[in-house]
Amino acid sequence: MRKESPVPRVRPDLEIVQTSYQGKNALLVRDFLGLIRDPVILQGDVLSLIGLIDGNRTIRDLQVELVRQKRGVLVDSELIEKFVREIDSAYLLESPRYEEGKNRILSEYHRLEVRKPSHAGVSYPAQASDLRLYLDSILKAAESDPEGNGRGRIRGLVAPHIDLEAGKRVYARAYRAISRESPRRVFLIGTGHGLDDGFYSLTEKDYETPLGRVRTEKDVVRALKKAGGPVVSSSDISHRREHSLEFQVIFLQHLFGLSFSLVPILCGSFASVLETVCRASEIAGVGGFLEEFRSFLDEGWGRDLVVAGVDFSHIGPKFGHQETASSLLLEARAHDQSLLQAFCGADVQAFWAESRRVRDKYNVCGFPALASLLEALPGVKGRSLDYEFWKEEPTQSAVSFAAVILEDDASGR
């Protein structure tokens, strides 16, 4: 008798979060690779099945485990096979079908010289004239910094990457604060939501939006890749559909035209090392990358700008919590404020210790990018401009975000 093969495991590069839909438990699945174009909602019996598909169990094994979970109620193996075929057809399994689709996307994307906008016409207008009007309307959503600019040389900016409408006031505070700058080069660092095979991902592709094409500094990207070695992803596919940098590019183009070049950097999760090190530079291989990053910023002092596209806490059922956002709001806000205080004070160890203290309970997606900035701009203090929580009532979940300006002392370097 031929031995039954295990069912291929659920793809590890998917984002799967617990949520509720129409009053029932559900899983929300997002695919940053792009094989699945729109988020998928899973409900019903497939919820019990999906957690068992680990690449080691056969159909028979799955049947036995489901019967055990249902306390002896028989589950038809043909029904399980049907579920497996359906989720495989939806590109949820790491099967030959998925590998073929992934290789096709990687090959097609690798050949491109330009990273096309993925959110034009979805998150913001696709026509240049409409987009300019829209960005103008956002920038008018808040008054300029009441404390004024000019305290010192502006070295960087922290801005949100949440939906533009949801975060318009904080986006406005952030980008109005740098509106008088004229950067030669922008190091753009943000959250790589789909990055799972490295701590960083860089691309040599130019970034294009409805407002034009921004040239990427290929020599700088190559130098950073070389310095980072294995901690840098071998592929730049995570940039393909990522919005955390794209949203910043349209604001930068709106303010500065096409007069600047770009160094695009995405950050993956630091969760695997949070308990074992006390700062980003202690992560094996990361220190060299950050040292090279710092050397470029030192070389470009007065001409370069760093912009971080990050959000802070993600709380509620949509982000894996049993509690609602409203019940977690006060403690998540306190955590955010502790992080902001440490970040603005350039206190690397306090920043890291605060995240370790709560074991990243509140899913601060911007932690790796901000931890990296603390190393790349040592001693550069921050000034918080704004902070806000956006609440998504249907899922009883919420996301926080902030605007921070980074400045050198007014007396110079």
Per residue in 132-164, pLDDT (tens digit) is 999 999 999 876 554 445 567 999 999 999 999
Using a pLDDT cut of 70, give the percent of the chain over it: 96
Q: Return the structure tokens found at 85.
A: 């075929």
Q: Which three-class secondary structure state does DSSP give residue 158? A: strand
Q: Is the pLDDT of residue 411 over 60?
A: no
Tokens found for residue 369: 């990018």
Closest CA to 45 of 61, 26, 21: 26
Q: Among residues 145, 167, 150, which one has the least CA distance to residue 404?
A: 145
User: How many residues does the structure list for the chain?
Assistant: 413
- The pLDDT tens digits for 277-311 are 999 999 999 999 999 999 999 999 889 999 999 99
Please state the domain extents for the chain.
14-107, 115-407
Tokens of 94: 């790491």
Checking if the pLDDT of 374 tops 80, the result is yes
Pairing relation of β-strands 381-392 and 397-407?
Answer: antiparallel
70 pLDDT above the threshold of 90: no
The reported pLDDT for the residue numbered 148 is 47
Q: Which residues contact 227 (CB under 8 A, 6 or more apart)?
A: 288, 289, 291, 292, 293
Pick from 239, 254, 368: nearest CA to 311: 368
Structure tokens, 367: 């932690």
One-letter amino acid identity for 69? Q
Confidence check: pLDDT of 54 > 60: yes
400: three-class secondary structure by DSSP = strand
Provide mean pLDDT across the span 217-243.
96
Check whether 269 has a pLDDT greater than 50. Answer: yes
CA distance 123 to 101: 26
Q: Name which of 46-55, 132-141, 207-216 the model is least confident about.
A: 46-55
pLDDT at 46 (0 to 100):
82
Q: Are 309 and 251 in contact (CB under 8 A)?
A: no
Q: State in words which class domain 115-407 has.
A: alpha beta
How many angstroms separate the CA atoms of 404 and 408, rounded? 13
d(CA 356, CA 341): 16
Q: For the chain, give me the number of helices (H) and strands (E)?
A: 12, 14
Tell me what percent of the residues of the chain surpass a pLDDT of 90: 76
- For the cut 60, the answer to whether the pLDDT of residue 206 exceeds it is yes
* Res 412: pLDDT: 47
Q: What is the pLDDT, as a whole number, of residue 34?
A: 85
How many Å from the N-terminal Cα to the C-terminal Cα in the chain? 75
When the pLDDT of each residue in the chain is averaged and rounded to a whole number, the result is 92
Buried b or exposed e, range 8-45, using 16+ CB within 10 angstroms:
bebbebbebbbbbeeeeebbbbbbbbbbbeeebebeee
Tokens of residue 323, six digits = 């509690």
Residue 310 identity (one-letter amino acid): V
At which residue do the structure tokens 């069912």 appear? 7
Q: How confident is the model at residue 15 (pLDDT cuts 50, 70, 90)?
A: confident
pLDDT tens for 84-131 read 999 999 999 999 999 999 999 999 999 999 999 999 999 999 999 999
- How does residue 320 score in pLDDT terms, banded at 50, 70 and 90? confident
Residue 207 has pLDDT above 50, yes or no: yes
Beta strands in 160-316 (DSSP E): 185-191, 200-202, 206-209, 212-214, 261-267, 304-309, 314-315
Where residue 76 falls among pLDDT bands split at 50, 70, 90? confident
What tokens were used for 280?
Answer: 């980003």
pLDDT of 1: 46
The residues, ordered by sequence, that sit 6+ positions from 83 with a Cβ below 8 Å of its Cβ are 45, 46, 49
Percentages of the chain per state (helix, strand, coil), in multiples of 5: 40, 20, 40
pLDDT, greater one: 19 or 349? 349
Pairing verdict, β 206-209 and 114-115: parallel
383 by DSSP, 3-state: which? strand
Q: What is the mean pLDDT of residues 344-348?
A: 97
Buried b (16+ CB within 10 A) or exposed e, 247-278: bbbbbbbbbbeeebbbbbbbbbbbeeebeeee
Asked if 185 and 192 touch (Cβ cutoff 8 Å), the reply is: no
Per-residue pLDDT tens digits for 249-261: 999 999 999 999 9
> From the CA atom positions of the chain, what is the Rg in Å?
22
Contact 403, 174 (CB under 8 A): yes
Q: Note the pLDDT tens digit of each residue in 18-41.
A: 777 777 888 888 888 889 888 888
